Structure 1
């Protein structure tokens, strides 16, 4: 399979109200937390996005998992380049992206108790 099939993604959700978060949490959906990075921060912005391959976002086949991995790898690379280059966007050095398939950012996917493949969020910590 060539990489060109990995190029069509869709944004599912970004900013989410607390009421919606609680509704998702209460409904037994894939949401596992009562407070989410999708909710507005102090500046009124979301620090999370759900983004997925456009054709079939809930498929967990090896091919689809590879598509998610490629998607996150591209997002992480662009994010890190934006931190390094003078893009006009100020990103703190301790700010990183975290993917819902690698919550502890160790590069190991089999040590997670919960996978949220479409989820990508900003985290602030020492690497």
Structure 2
């Protein structure tokens, strides 16, 4: 059974407990790595500059403490293998749905299940939303 590294657990601890619960269930089923939870002002502006985020500080859901967004990647990491991100996101959404937790995935911002209508793909990104 996969398990989180200490680094992933440390990052995950900066996130809302609902995201922590979903991620702890996800790792039981699929090997993933947590790469971002809370993001401070300098890191947020760096993410914008690098094209990894469209939101300036403090407008990202990563900027709240605890963070209401988490970035998760299938492990081992292969940024070119989009299908693994889609599979992971499906598991994440199913777990969240079972737990009654509303989420939005960065590969389907409008939540219409049409993955080809996005202007900005952020496949690792998962954020909490109101149900």
Regarding TM over 0.5, the answer is yes
Higher helix share: 2
* Structure 2 alignment gaps of length 5 or more: 1-28
Q: 1:38 aligns with which of 42, 59, 62?
A: 62
**Bigger mean CA deviation after superposition, 13-22 or 106-115:** 13-22
Tell me which stretches of 4 or more aligned residues in structure 1 moved more than 2 Å: none
- Give the deviation of 1:57 after TM superposition: 4.0
**2 CA distance for matches of 1:124 and 1:82?**
13
Question: Which structure: larger Rg?
Answer: 1
Map of 1:58 onto structure 2: 79
**TM-score w.r.t. length of structure 1:** 0.71
Residue 9 (structure 1) aligned with residue 32 (structure 2): yes
- Give the deviation of 1:112 after TM superposition: 0.6
Number of residue pairs aligned between Structure 1 and Structure 2:
101
* Structure 1 alignment gaps of length 5 or more: 1-5, 84-90
CA RMSD for the aligned pairs? 1.8
**TM-score w.r.t. length of structure 2:** 0.69
* Residues 10-64 of structure 1, C-alpha deviations (whole Å, 9 max, x = no match): 0001111123212221x33321111210111xxx3111000001222421xxxx2
**1 CA distance for matches of 2:104 and 2:78?**
19
Residue 122 (structure 1) aligned with residue 128 (structure 2): yes
